[in-house]
Structure 1
C-alpha cells in the first residue's frame, strides 16, 4: 500500500478548480507589486539626478554620482536577499500562512515611506529613500519563497508548473504597470507645466513640483499590495505543511475538504509513520541532505545567480543602453518630464512586446516541454542574442540600425522569461522536502538576488568606461556598454552549463521528487477510492 497520504493524493489528482485561480491571483498580486517596486526605481533615477544634483549654470543636467546611483538601484536588492533568507526559514518554522501577511504589510508601509522620503538636502533625501527601500526589499524578499511554496503545495501535479509560473508571470505585468504609471504621471505634469528643454532654459526646465513625480510613482506600489492583504489572510495553511511538518492530519484533512469540496479521511497513524522514518527527518546541514539534494541546491542557486546578473542588469539599466544607442535623446535636449516619459515609454514597450509574452509562453508550455528544456533553451538564446548585440556593437549604434538593436535586445527579455527567469523560480518549490522547501527556495532566490546585486553594481561601473568619440549626454556609452553585453553573454553561457545540475520535475508529485514518499509513487486511484463528494 502506498505511503502517500489521502489528502496529498487529493491535491495531486484534483482537477483545475476555482481555488487554483484564486491562489494564483492572491499570490500573483504579491509578485505584481514586487516587480513594480523593484523596477520602478529605474524610471526615476534620472529625475532624481536632475532635481538634486544639477548645479547652477551647468551645461548639462545633473546625474546621480555612480556610488549614489548604485545605492538607489541596489539597496532594495540587498533587502530582498536578506528577506528571502529570513522569511524562507521562517516559513518552514512557523508555517507559510502565518508570515505571508507580514511581507505585504512591510511592502505597503515601505512603499508609502519611500515616497515620503524626507530631508533638508539631497544627501538626507537619498539616505532616507535608501533606508525605506531596503526594508521594502526585505518584505519583497519574503514573497518569493512563500508564494512559490504555497502555490506548489496547492497545485495538482499535472499543471503545477503552469500554476507556479503564472504566479511569477505577474511580475511582467508589474514591470509594465510601472511604465504605465510613469507615463500617466509624467504626461499629467507635462500638460500642466509645459517646461522647456534643459539646453533652451536650464533654470526653467526644473520646477519644485517635479519632486512629486518620483514620489507618486514610488508610492503607487502600496496600492495593489494593500488590496491583497485580506485575501491572503483568508487562505488556509497548505495541507503539506499542516500534515508533514506540523503533523496535524485532522486539520489538513479539514482544510482541504473545504477547498476541494470533498470529504477527506484524516490519517494520524500514517503521518506518524511517515515523519518518524529516519529517511524523512534529516536537516539542511546533514549528510543525508547533501547526498540527496546537495547537487540540486547547487544547481538551483548557481543558475538563479547567473540568470539574475543578466536579467537585472538589463531591466535596471535598459534606459542607459537605449540612451547609448541614441534611441532616447541626450538629456540636455529634453526637460525632466520628457525624460521620464521617454524612459517609461521604452520600458513599457519592451515589457509589452517581449517580457510579458515570454512569461506566458512559459506558463503555456512548461508542463509539456518540461522545466529543464525551457531553462536550457532560454540560456542558449540569451547567450546568442547578447553576443549578436555586443560583437557588431558599432553597427547597431548607427541611426538606421537602432530599431534592429531594440528588436534584438527585446529577444533577450523574451527568452529570459520564456526560459530561466521563470524556471529558476518554479523548480526550487518542487524538488525539496516540505519541512525545508521554503528555506531552500529562499536560499536559491537569495543567490539570485546576489547575482542581481552583482549585475546592478557591476553594469553601472563597467558601463562608465566611455568611448572617447562619444562623450555626450552623461550616459554610459560606447565600449562600456559593449563590454557589459559581452560579459552578460558569457554569464548566460555558464547558466547553460549549470542547468545540467537541475532535475526535471514535470508530472511528478512533490513527495515523489523529495523522497518523502519513501520512494513510492502514489497512485491516483487511492485518492478516488478514499474520497467521496460532500
Structure 2
C-alpha cells in the first residue's frame, strides 16, 4: 500500500492542525448555521401564522394552522432538502465539490429572503408562496450537507478529522440557538412598540397589524450569515482528493495543497494514473462490487439517519406543544400573538442552550478518542432510556411540582441526540466511501435522514393533531398524546441502536484505507466486527 500512497494525500493526513482547518470549519459551518436557522425557525412562527391568517372572529380560541397547512409549512423544506441532497450530492462527484458549493449558498440566500416576502390576497395565497420558496430554500440547504461534509473530510488530517467534520455540523446548534434568540428580540421589540391585550373572543384584540412583519423578519434574517461567507467559500481550492483521484490531475492537486499546507509537494501523475486505472477502483454505485464492499455500510448510514431524524425533527417541531401540555407555556387565549411568539422562542432557546449546543461540542471533543461507533451507540441507547423514562410515568411529570424535572430530562434527549447519532450520522458517510462516490453516498444517506424528517413533519405531526377540545383549549395539539408520542419515538431510537452495528468505525484511519482506493493489486479486505480492515 505504501508504494501507491500519494504524497499530497499523505501530507493532508499527517498535517498538524493549522489555520486553514479552522477557516474551512467556519466557512463550511456557516452554511450549517444557516441551514439550522432556516429549518427550525419556522416552528417558532407557525402559531403566529395561525393567528394572522386562520383566526375566525368571535372564536373561543386563537387561530391555529389547519393540519394540512401546518404539515405543509413545516415539511415542505424537508422535501426540498431531500431533493437537494440527492442532486447536489451527485453533482459534487461529477463537477467537483467547489464548482457547485457557491450555487447552494446563493440559492439559500435568495429563497430565505423570498420566504419573508411571501404574498397573496388571502391566507391560501400567502401559504402557497411561502411553501414554494421554502421548498427551494430546502433544495439549497440539501446541497450543503454532502458538499460541506465531503470538503471537510477531504481537507482534514486523519487524527482529528472526526472533530473537524463534527465542528462543521455543530454550527447547527448555534443556528438553532440564534433562531430562538433573534425571535425573542424581534417579538419583544414589536410587543414593546405595539402593545396588544391578551386574546379574547375578538381575534383582532390580540393582534396588531405590524405583527405580520415579525414572522417575515425572522425568516429573512437567515440570509445574512450565508451572504457573509459566500466570498470565502468561493476562494477555497478544490480538494486534493477530488482533483487527484477523480479529476486525475496530480499537478493541480499538488499546486493547490502546497499553497494550503505551505509545503513543497511533487507532481505524481504516474502514481495517480496507476491508482485510478485499477479495475478495483472503477466500480460504480449500482455495481456488484460496490454492493460487496459498501452495501451494508450504505444500508447502515441510511437507516440510522432515517430513524434518528424521525425523532429529532419531530421533537423540534412539536416541542412547543409539549411545553403547553405540561403547563410550561400558558394557554394561548391568555396571551397576545406577539407574547406567544416570545414565550415559545424563549422555551425553545432554553432547550437549545442547555441540551442541543453542549451535545454537539461533546461530540467534537470526544469523537476522535471514543470513536464514531461508540458515540452513536451510546446516543441511541440514552435517547431510548430518556424517552421511555418520560413516557411511562407521564402522569407523574405533568404535576406542577415535577415539571422542571420533565424539562431537564426532555433536554437530555436532545443532548444525547447531538452527543450521539445526530452528529455521527453526518460524519461517517463522509469518510467510508470512495472519493468518486463520496458526495453521492453522503447525499443518499442524508436524504434518507430527511425522509425521516418528512415522516415526522407530514406523518407523525399530522397524526398527532388533536380533536379533543380541552387539549386545543390548552394550546396543545397532539391528539395521540405526548405519552404515546414519546413511546413511539423511544421505540424508533431503539431500532437505531441495533442498525448502528452495520456502521464501520473510521477513527484514526485514512479515507483511502477505509474505501480501499490505495489497495495493491491482489490485496484483499476482510470484514469482521463491523469494520473493513486490510489484511
One fold, TM greater than 0.5? yes
SS at match of 1:328: coil
> In structure 2, what is the equivalent of residue 193 of structure 1?
194
SS at match of 2:294: helix
SS at match of 1:56: coil
CA offset at residue 111 of structure 1? 0.3
Q: Distance in 1 between matches of 2:447 and 2:24?
A: 24
Q: Distance in 2 between matches of 1:125 and 1:479?
A: 30
SS at match of 2:205: coil
> In structure 1, what is the equivalent of residue 404 of structure 2?
403
CA offset at residue 130 of structure 1? 0.1
CA contact (8 A) 1:462 1:483 kept: no
Q: What do residues 359-384 of structure 1 show as CA deviations (whole Å, max 9, x unaligned)?
A: 00000000000000000000000000
> In structure 2, what is the equivalent of residue 445 of structure 1?
446
> In structure 2, what is the equivalent of residue 157 of structure 1?
158
CA contact (8 A) 1:512 1:519 kept: no
CA offset at residue 396 of structure 1? 1.1
Is the counterpart of residue 235 in structure 1 residue 236 in structure 2?
Answer: yes
Q: Which one is further off, 152-161 or 476-485? A: 476-485
CA offset at residue 208 of structure 1? 1.4
Q: What do residues 277-308 of structure 1 show as CA deviations (whole Å, max 9, x unaligned)?
A: 00001000000000000000000000000000
> In structure 2, what is the equivalent of residue 137 of structure 1?
138
Please show how residues 477-496 of structure 1 align to structure 2 within 5 Å.
Answer: 477=478, 479-496=480-497
Q: What do residues 434-473 of structure 1 show as CA deviations (whole Å, max 9, x unaligned)?
A: 0000000000000000000001123312322466764523
Please show how residues 34-183 of structure 1 align to structure 2 within 5 Å.
Answer: 34-183=35-184
Q: Distance in 2 between matches of 1:463 and 1:366?
A: 36
- TM-score where L is the length of structure 1: 0.96
Q: 4+ residue runs of structure 1 moved beyond 6 angstroms?
A: none
Q: Distance in 2 between matches of 1:478 and 1:129?
A: 26
Q: Mind listing any 5+ residue stretches in structure 1 that lack a counterpart?
A: 522-534
Aligned length: 521
Task: Mark the CA change 1:399 to 1:37 in structure 2 (over 3 Å): closer, same or farther.
Answer: same
Please show how residues 14-33 of structure 1 align to structure 2 within 5 Å.
Answer: 14-33=15-34
Q: Distance in 2 between matches of 1:125 and 1:213?
A: 15
Task: Mark the CA change 1:497 to 1:445 in structure 2 (over 3 Å): closer, same or farther.
Answer: same
CA contact (8 A) 1:320 1:475 kept: yes
Q: Distance in 1 between matches of 2:126 and 2:201?
A: 28
CA contact (8 A) 2:461 2:478 kept: no
Q: What do residues 375-417 of structure 1 show as CA deviations (whole Å, max 9, x unaligned)?
A: 0000000000001111111111111111111001000000000
Q: Mind listing any 5+ residue stretches in structure 2 that lack a counterpart?
A: 524-535
| Alignment RMSD (CA, Å) | 1.3
> In structure 2, what is the equivalent of residue 427 of structure 1?
428
Is the counterpart of residue 368 in structure 1 residue 369 in structure 2?
Answer: yes
Q: What do residues 171-195 of structure 1 show as CA deviations (whole Å, max 9, x unaligned)?
A: 0000000001100000100101121
Q: Distance in 2 between matches of 1:209 and 1:471?
A: 26
Q: Distance in 2 between matches of 1:457 and 1:257?
A: 49
> In structure 2, what is the equivalent of residue 294 of structure 1?
295
> In structure 2, what is the equivalent of residue 527 of structure 1?
none
- TM-score where L is the length of structure 2: 0.96
CA contact (8 A) 1:60 1:473 kept: no
Q: Distance in 1 between matches of 2:197 and 2:60?
A: 15
